[in-house]
Structure 1
Amino acid sequence: MSDSRSPPPAASVRARLAAALTARFGIDTRALAAFRISLGLLLVADLALRARYLEAFYTDAGVLPRALLYDLYPTLSQLSVHTLSGSLWVQALLFLFAGLCGLALLLGYHTRTALLLSFLLLVSLHARNPGVLNGGDSVLRRLLFWGLFLPLGERWSVDALRRVETPRERAASLASAALLVQVVLVYAVNAVFKLRGDLWLDGEAVRYVLSLQQFTILLGDTLAQFPALLHAFNLLWLGLVVASPLLLVLTGRLRTLLVLAFAGMHVGMLLTMRIGLFPLVSVTALLVFLPPAVWDRSVDRFSGSVERAAGRLGLAPRLARLRPDSGSASEQTAGSRLATIRRWCGRAAPAVVAVLLAAILVWNAMAVGLVSPPDDGGLTLNPSGNTWNMFAPHPPTADWWYVAPGELQSGERVDAYYLSPPVEDRPDTMEMYPSSRWRKYMGDLRYADDDRLQREFAEYLCSRWNRAHDEKLATVTLSYVSQPTRFDGPEPTERHELLTYNCSTGA
């Protein structure tokens, strides 16, 4: 009689371990398809939002001409093809090309090529003007990068229609683990910084943020009237980011519920705070955590309905034509060579992913102080200056806005920033900053170590005014007004003058 208490065979243990790791670090290919579609939409939306201020942010006529970019960022500027020209039409063509790549990624048309081009163009765009970047931009870059190592075109794509073989159900590799770990690191590092802030631990941080006019939109002003509710949201969000490693531990329904909790908080941010596309980027990142059961119950039913509708409309034969035939001998030879290159790249990819995954783990450990940075031989290695510390450890507790009183050649007083008569009272949110990128840029402008940034902005205000008005601007004074939040008393304002600029002499 066999002993029922005997240890299980080693093969069985390995199988169970592999299944456990796959359930936690594998990604459903339908989740990857939704992830790809969302990335494409984000890229197109991001370009559309940036294009509103194309001249101001990305040309030599704007706030950061290429000559100043080269001086301030000598290394980073070399990564940008957008610096090939300072003309508006060249930047418009680059935006258009990037938009087409984003659409190709959305449709899954030559997915890997579209993804690579989108990633390179995004890096180039970010390097053209680092002063307008935020945490969402950094996350989006990383999502695109890790996507290069994953089969994003496996489902729901033009590439899938052209493929003969059956698609995989799940992608489980070091690359899938790297993507999931990257997303969790964003939350986990942010949690470490939040736990170091008294306002977060006291439950007052969210109340302060939503008290600031520069951030609040839509429901933000309404929620600001309910301090007890904001206190609860503060502690809930703090609890979620602290518990974020559970995204890698839980499976099935529990993981789904945690993903929905994170997504719900990000949707809340979208409806209350003016922080650009960051909430939507975060929701996109969470898609890859959704387990197969979610897609079995929802999306597959929808896709089945689409396939039946396509059959009734006679579209199936047309779609079948997208699949490649055997082709000529030369085409077969080229395809064989391409397949060989792909095999070699596939063999090298795990090693590259392993090195990069180790690098980001060490980098984030240095950012939170768990690991000391190495001696960099005089270079500046400061991970804490480029990490996930949004509103942490200390959230902003004061509103601030710019004024730019100027004098026309006739002696009349105006405000060059608002293109209006002199501003006496606090402007509304949309007048303060036309977009979240303008707020980010103007925020950094206050503390710029190099006053050339402030002078270039003053020059931009002069040229913008003079293009729009017959009477020219003679001088402009760049200042900002700060107003601290006081929940129990008056909120005084204080004006800080940065410089006075002569529009004629540039001094």
Structure 2
Amino acid sequence: MRNVSRSVAARRGRPPSSMPLPGIAALRRGVTFLLRRAFTLDVRALAVFRVALGLAMIVDSLQILPWLYKLIGDDSVSPRWLSVFSHSYFSLLNSSGDAWFVTLIFALYYLTALAIIVGFHANTALLAAFVLYSSVQHANYYIDSGATVLLKMYLLWAAFLPVSARWSLDAALRPRPPQAQAEVFSISSAVLVAQIAMLYLMSFALKTGADWHEGSALEKVIRYQMAMIEPWVTGLLAYPALLKFLTYFALGLELVAPLLILLGGWPRLLGMLLLIGMHVGFDLFLALGAFPTVAIAGLLVLIPTQVWNLRKRRFAEGLVLFCDSSPRSERSVRLVRSWLCLDGLELQPFSRDPRAAALHAASGSWVLRSAQDQRLTGGDVLIELVRHSPFKPLGYVLGLRPLRSLLKWTFARAARHRAGVDAALPAYHPPFWRLPYLSEITVLVLAIGALGSNLLTARNDFSRVPGYVSALGLMQDWRMFAPLVGKQSGWLVAEGHTYSGRAVEPYQYLVHGRTEISYERPRKPNAFLGGERWRKYVEAAAYDSNLSRFFAGYLCHYWARRQSDAFQSIKLFYFEEFEGSPAQMRVLYEGTCPSYNF
């Protein structure tokens, strides 16, 4: 009967009830097309993103490393009891604040950064880096910045994407390399693209003040945010029309560029390049720490497939590398091909070329057949491969006589101990925690809370932020210079009086190792304060009486641990400029050294 009804419906020109209407089918295809355009990522761009993310981790850590034990740990400006009292975020450093444990956390952090760069167990390394980085960030909440939040989110989302599908140790060490996959379209890719777009869209939406709509925001940043600008930038105040144009351009770009990104293809490339240019400009104008570096690293994941397909000739095309058919030897060859990005290199067994087989029997090394039909062995193979890779200049450096001799000696020793060299290659183990459907559901749940927190924090509605978002520190707030540009800025001066009658500057002693007191306006306030992280801490202490009292006690403690002449009293002054007026001095603390249990 069902078949009869279908045929009758067809004769009457009506589609069967179980078949989608043509309009619905077209709508479905259109929506699918738009979603794929918006949220598809190229695996080669993911590989570039992975390397850039690992480098950004190192760059960001340099903001803390010179003062590591002064900013993090029990003997720092943010000991465990103060951090736990201030917030309830998860941190491994809540279990111990000893110097050895802080050192261990940072050593593991750098190891994960290296693993991410080379693509060794990259997804597991990214997840571990997220935990380690969150632990460091949450150990001192007062030095938190936009760079720390953004880098943490990129580490989390990247852990669920195939970032090591190309140009990685993982890709080379797989027993059976996966089939070539050019693009990724998944919940994880959609979340990462949405994270990038929301960063700029929320920043645009929050800039509701008159400073932005009148075009005076950038001028006011230069005039009033003296702790955040580079000294040379004040010369731009002589060009108000230029500053007004740049203000409107930056505001419009934060709206238009995310829309271009969601269009995919060439529009995405245009949006990406415009945003990279904006961040380069920010880095030249403002002292923003690692934020421009982290933001640019994230934008590189948007390089569309069309750009990669512009390259007509593959690297090392026309070269043939001969090797034996053992699994370990094949892994070694794939490792070199992957690291040097030699997608055009052809691999063949020695049995296909008698001359290559004879050379291998004599030297024990790989044999490379060049485009001119020459046979190369030993270190010359690596030199020739590097010359045909994206790192061509390095190949000519390796070809210099001392380095060439060293390579030949190294390859000769490796040929004599080939079994040991092959055995030293690590085995590949797929991430046990990346179950196909479970990982995507996990990303979706985390993304709903993390990206949704943008809307809640924009309305200062922190009570409705989900508990897991708060515990993991996934809350986001992108209101830089919004809704208005802050019109006050300042710097800290500390004055310690010892029992012997000396007057010294304990804050400068803490940060720079000098003791001279100066009340003059510093020429480079950000450098005077010790960089972005110290500036964040000082600004927090300037408006928190309990923290400023604690900080005074820490300065006394730090001085007493290193000098025999202890402080009898200490003063903390904050010099604040408001709307360009002469600096006003506020006393943050004055009296004897507060006693705290460090």
CA contact (8 A) 2:83 2:138 kept: no
- SS of match in other structure, 2:63: helix
Aligned match of 1:314 = 381
Contact 2:126/2:159, CA 8 A, preserved across alignment: yes
User: Relative to 1, partners in 2 of residues 1:385 and 1:360: Cα closer, same or farther, differing over 3 Å?
Assistant: closer
Give the counterpart of 2:522 among 419, 427, 444: 427
In the alignment, which residue of structure 1 is the partner of 2:172?
Answer: 161
Distance 1:415 1:431 in 2: 16
Query: Does the 8 A contact of 1:247 with 1:289 survive in 2?
Result: no
Contact 2:39–2:262 under 8 Å retained in 1: no
Does the 8 A contact of 1:433 with 1:439 survive in 2? yes
User: Secondary structure at 2:482's aligned position in 1?
Assistant: coil
Instruction: Write the letter of the residue equivalent to 1:95.
Output: F
The Cα shift of 1:372 comes to: 10
Q: CA, structure 1 residues 261+225, in 2 after alignment: closer, same or farther (shift >3 Å)?
A: same
The answer to whether structure 1 residue 173 and structure 2 residue 186 are counterparts is yes
Tell me the alpha carbon deviations over residues 131-189 of structure 1, each in whole angstroms, 9 at most, x when there is no partner. Answer: 11101111111111111211011111111112322331001011111110111111111
With over 3 angstroms needed to count, the CA separation of the structure-2 counterparts of 1:302 and 1:281, relative to structure 1, is: farther
Question: Which segment drifts farther, 237-246 or 353-362?
Answer: 353-362
Instruction: Spell out the pairing of 1:71-86 with structure 2 (5 A cutoff).
Output: 71-73=85-87, 75-76=88-89, 79-86=90-97
Alignment of 1:205-224 (within 5 A): 205-211=217-223, 212-217=225-230, 220-224=233-237
Q: For 1:187, which of 175, 194, 200 is the aligned residue?
A: 200
Query: Is residue 399–residue 483 contact of structure 1 (8 Å, CA) maintained in 2?
Result: yes
Aligned counterparts of 2:70 and 2:157: Cα–Cα separation in 1: 31
8 Å Cα contact 2:258-2:271 kept in structure 1: no
Tell me how far apart the structure 2 counterparts of residues 249 and 386 of structure 1 sit (CA, whole Å): 21
Query: What SS is found at the alignment partner of 1:418?
Result: helix
SS in 1 for 2:112: helix
Residue of 306, 315, 320 corresponding to 1:293: 306
Cα offset for 1:256? Answer: 1.2
Supply the distance in 1 between the matched residues of 2:185 and 2:506 (Cα, whole angstroms).
Answer: 56
Of 496, 500, 505, the match for 2:590: 500
The letter of the residue matching 2:252 is G
Structure (1 or 2) with the larger CA radius of gyration: 2
Q: Distance in 2 between matches of 1:93 and 1:366?
A: 36
- Check the 8 A contact 2:167/2:341 in 1, yes or no: no
Map 1:23-172 → 2, pairs under 5 A: 23-73=37-87, 75-76=88-89, 79-163=90-174, 164-172=177-185
What's the offset of the Cα at 1:11?
Answer: 6.7
1:263 equivalenced with 2:270 (yes/no): no
2:289 corresponds to 1:273: no
* Cα distance in 2, alignment partners of residues 370 and 418 from structure 1: 36
Query: Aligned partners of 2:449 and 2:594: how far apart in 1?
Result: 51
Q: Which amino acid aligns with 2:381?
A: G
Q: In the alignment, is the contact (CA less than 8 A) between 1:174 and 1:350 conserved in 2?
A: yes
CA shift, 1:266, in A, is 0.3
Offset of 1:301 from its aligned partner? 5.8
The 3 A distance-change label for structure 1 pair 254 and 501 is same
**Would you say how many aligned residue pairs link Structure 1 and Structure 2?**
478
Q: Distance in 2 between matches of 1:357 and 1:23?
A: 20
**Shift of residue 407 of structure 1?**
1.4
Whichever residue aligns with residue 353 of structure 1, its letter is V
CA 1:289–1:389 in structure 2 vs 1: closer, same or farther (change >3 Å)? Answer: same
Moved more, 19-28 or 131-140: 19-28
Q: Structure 1 residues 432 and 303 mapped into 2: Cα distance closer, same or farther (>3 Å)?
A: farther
Q: CA deviation at 1:52?
A: 0.8
Deviations 1:114-139 (A, max 9, x none): 11111110111111111111011111
1:418–1:431: 8 Å Cα contact kept in structure 2? Answer: no
SS of equivalent to 1:155: coil
Deviations 1:484-505 (A, max 9, x none): 234xxxx222111111242385
Look up the match of 1:459: 553
Report the aligned-residue RMSD: 3.7
Secondary structure of the structure 2 residue equivalent to 1:404:
strand
* Pairing partner for 1:367 from 430, 436, 457: 457
Q: 1:91 to 1:506 in 2, by over 3 A?
A: closer
Distance change (3 Å), C-alpha of 1:268 and 1:298: farther
The question of whether the paired residues in 2 share the 8 Å contact of 1:64 and 1:456 is answered with no
Please tell me the residue identity of whatever aligns with 1:433. Answer: L
Which residue is equivalent to 1:412?
A: 502
Residue aligned with 1:53, SS? helix
Separation in 2, partners of 1:301, 1:391: 46
Residues 389-425 of structure 1 deviation map (CA, whole Å, 9 limit, x = unaligned): 1111122222201111221212233332234333231
Question: TM-score under structure 1 normalisation?
Answer: 0.84
| Aligned residue in 2 for 1:441 | 537
Report the equivalent of 1:3.
Answer: none
Residues 369 and 461 (structure 1 numbering): CA distance in 2 closer, same or farther, change over 3 Å?
Answer: closer
2:216: which partner in 1? 204
Q: Is the 8 A contact 2:553 2:595 kept in 1?
A: no
What do the CA deviations read for 1:339-375 (whole angstroms, capped 9, x no partner)?
8x567x2121232233333334533233344999759
Could you say if the C-alpha distance between residues 213 and 372 of structure 1 is closer, same or farther in structure 2, counting changes exceeding 3 Å? Answer: closer
Distance 1:144 1:219 in 2: 35
SS in 2 for 1:100: helix
Equivalent pairs: percent with the same residue?
30
Tell whether the 8 Å contact from 1:362 to 1:371 is kept in structure 2 after alignment. Answer: no
Query: Structure 1 pair 48/171, CA: closer, same or farther in 2 (3 Å)?
Result: same
Normalised TM-score (structure 2) = 0.72
Q: Report the more deviating stretch, 346-355 or 91-100.
A: 346-355
Residue 388 of structure 2 is matched in structure 1 by: none
Q: Cα distance 1:298–1:477, how it changes in 2: closer, same or farther (>3 A)?
A: farther
CA gap of 1:506–1:104, structure 2 versus 1, over 3 A, is closer
Give the conservation status (yes or no) of the 8 Å contact 1:149–1:349: yes
| CA deviation after TM superposition for structure 1 residue 287, in Å | 1.5
Distance 1:72 1:20 in 2: 44
Equivalent residues of 1:23, 1:251 under 8 A apart = yes
Q: CA deviation at 1:15?
A: 5.2
> Where in structure 1 are there 5+ consecutive unaligned residues?
1-6, 326-330
